[in-house]
Amino acid sequence: MPEEPTVGVRVPLPMLGPTAHPQAPRPQVPECYGDVCITCSDEAVPVTILELLEDDLARVDTGQTIEVVSVALVDAKIGDVILVHAKEAIAVVRD
């Protein structure tokens, strides 16, 4: 007998716009500053691997800072240029 799909819990979301309560504070849109992340938009950033670490992580040079990102999804080595989005390597740049 097939299992019935599990239904997730519904969470009420704040109302925005003219129907929102006039005194209610409007939610703030998070902004990236300094060491928060290397990508703040829907694009991947090329970085160079400096060191491979444990747990499928790598220390990379972004051209501005040194950061640690996950390389679990790619087969990369020291010196490779990888494309990173949201601290996750998604591709190795090959010549």
Q: Give the global pTM.
A: 0.58
3-46 residue pLDDT tens: 655 555 555 555 555 555 556 555 454 455 555 454 455 678 89
Of the options 3.40.50.2300, 3.30.70.600, 2.30.30.140, 3.30.420.40, the CATH number for the domain spanning 45-93:
2.30.30.140
Question: What pLDDT sits at residue 15?
Answer: 53
Please calculate the CA angle 49-53-58 and round it to the nearest 5 degrees: 30
Contact 92, 76 (CB under 8 A): yes
Q: Give the start-to-end residue ranges of the domains of the chain.
A: 45-93
Alpha helices, H only, 3-95: none
37-49 residue pLDDT tens: 544 556 788 999 9
